[in-house]
């Protein structure tokens, strides 16, 4: 049995949809279905009732769901134990977050915390939003930083996990500028005009945010996808070379905007996300993690007018 089978199964149990679970796990639906079948074959029993919609777990599946959570958590604890440290106080805080936050938000955010609490040792893992949240559930991270939007909420059990809003992030459409600092693409363009578009991959959280913006726009532009990737930094690189226009988090392009390399081409085509921090209640008072959480709970969020932390 492979641990990814357990993670697949828990995602399916959470979403009640093979297609949605496969999307979140970043694999094709046929491959995802084969992995669930492999888990069922290994256990020798059906875990999913495929005659029902939305998908439901069988009685055995409900029993195994709790065991799968426990198994993943235990494996994480064992791995931490076997890795060993010279002393507990020197252990790095394991922080999971989306790639964009790790590049555009985290460095300045952790610097401000260190100015208040002193030097910290951290180990950052860049994942997609869903997997960053799930890393807390399976015990492979101590702290998760994620985007949150009412249209695409992050849902972790509030009885187990503390939450604090630590910032906000707005997403806008951008274009490269010419030598006169004018955007080379007009957005949403003239009626019927086709605009070259740099898009996020279907599994990306920011892709769903862009879809939300376009679905609620008064005028929907005609977009022709020229490049697709799940990395905002990849889109920014293509944007800077003039391959099209793209929606990017504002924090990811601050330097380029200040230098006149990029320009916002549609401030009305925007939405704002919260940046949230989560950690487990029982871990939030320990060592460096405790110092970070105490600072989080007492500080105002970056880029936003106030916040709240779990009790």
Q: How far apart are CA 31 and CA 8, in angstroms?
A: 11
Q: Which helix (H) or strand (E) holds 284?
A: none
**Is 89:165 a contact under the CB 8 Å cutoff?**
no
Lowest mean pLDDT, pick from 59-73, 81-95, 285-299: 81-95
| Rounded Cα gap, residues 106 and 91, in angstroms | 19
Q: What's residue 285's pLDDT? A: 66
Buried/exposed 273-287: b ≥16 CB within 10 Å, e otherwise: bbbbbbbbeebbebb
The CATH number that domain 170-272 falls under is: 3.40.190.10
| Predicted TM-score (pTM) above 0.75 | no
What DSSP assignment string belongs to 160-195?
TEEEEEEEEEEEEEEEEB-TTS-BSS-SS-STT-EE
Distance CA 180, CA 3 (A): 54
Strand pairing category for 222-229 and 194-200: parallel
pLDDT of residue 310: 37
pLDDT at 283: 67
The tokens for 161 are: 């996990």
Backbone angles phi, psi at 35, to 5 degrees: -70, -40
Q: What is the domain partition of the chain in residue ranges?
A: 3-82, 85-168+274-298, 170-272
Tell me the residue ranges of DSSP E strands in the chain.
48-49, 56-57, 93-98, 122-127, 143-148, 161-176, 194-200, 222-229, 245-249, 262-264, 271-280
At 176, the pLDDT band (50, 70, 90 cuts) reads very high
Average pLDDT over residues 237-256: 94
Sign of the CA dihedral running 13, 18, 24, 29: positive
Name the token pair of 117: 């609490």
Q: What are the start-end ranges of the E strands in 213-259?
A: 222-229, 245-249
CATH classification of 3-82, choosing from 2.60.40.10, 1.10.10.10, 1.10.287.3240, 3.40.50.300?
A: 1.10.10.10
| Token code pair at residue 70 | 């426990």
Tell me: pLDDT of 218 over 70: yes
Beta-carbon neighbour count of residue 63 at 10 Å? 13
The pLDDT confidence band at residue 109, using thresholds 50, 70 and 90, is: very high
- φ/ψ of 262, rounded to 5, equals -130, 160
**At residue 306, does pLDDT exceed 50?**
no
Decide if 85-168+274-298 and 170-272 have a common fold.
Answer: yes
How far is Cα 107 from Cα 115, in angstroms, rounded to an integer? 12
Rounded to whole angstroms, the Cα distance separating 181 from 266 reads 16
Q: What is the pLDDT of residue 307?
A: 37
**Superfamily for the 85-168+274-298 domain:** Periplasmic binding protein-like II (3.40.190.10)
Across 27-41, average pLDDT: 90
Comparing CA positions, the residue from 149, 112, 142 lying closest to residue 125 is: 142
Residue 114 token pair: 């260190």
Q: Give the model's pLDDT for residue 124.
A: 94
- Whether the pLDDT of residue 86 is over 70: the answer is no
DSSP helix/strand/coil, 148? strand
Helix (H, G, I), strand (E, B) or coil at 137: helix
Mean pLDDT value across the chain: 87
């Amino acid at each position: 049995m492979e641990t990814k089978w357990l993670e697949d199964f828990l995602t399916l149990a959470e979403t009640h949809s093979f297609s949605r679970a496969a999307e979140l796990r970043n694999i094709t639906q046929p491959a995802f279905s084969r992995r669930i079948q492999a888990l069922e074959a290994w256990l020798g029993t059906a875990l999913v009732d495929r005659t029902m919609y939305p998908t439901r777990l069988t009685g055995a599946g409900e029993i195994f769901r709790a065991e799968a959570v426990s198994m993943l958590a235990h494996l994480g604890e064992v791995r931490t134990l076997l890795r060993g440290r010279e002393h507990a106080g020197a252990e790095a805080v394991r922080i999971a977050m989306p790639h964009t936050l790790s590049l555009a938000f985290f460095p300045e955010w952790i610097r401000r915390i260190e100015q208040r609490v002193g030097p910290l040792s951290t180990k950052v893992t860049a994942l997609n939003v869903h997997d960053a949240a799930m890393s807390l559930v399976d015990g492979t991270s101590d702290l998760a930083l994620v985007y949150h939007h009412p249209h695409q909420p992050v849902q972790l059990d509030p009885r187990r996990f503390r939450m604090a809003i630590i910032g906000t992030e707005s997403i806008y459409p951008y274009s490269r500028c010419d030598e006169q600092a004018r955007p080379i693409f007009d957005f949403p363009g003239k009626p019927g005009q086709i605009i070259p578009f740099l898009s996020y991959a279907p599994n990306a959280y920011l892709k769903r945010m862009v879809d939300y913006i376009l679905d609620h726009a008064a005028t929907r532009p005609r977009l022709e996808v020229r490049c697709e990737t799940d990395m905002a930094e990849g889109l920014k690189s293509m944007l800077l070379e003039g391959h099209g226009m793209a929606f990017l988090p504002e924090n990811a392009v601050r330097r380029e905007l200040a230098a006149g390399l990029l320009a916002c081409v549609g401030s009305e085509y925007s939405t704002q996300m919260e940046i949230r921090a989560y950690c487990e209640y029982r871990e939030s008072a320990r060592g460096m993690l405790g110092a970070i959480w105490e600072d989080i709970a007492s500080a105002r969020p970056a880029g936003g007018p106030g916040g709240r932390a779990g009790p």
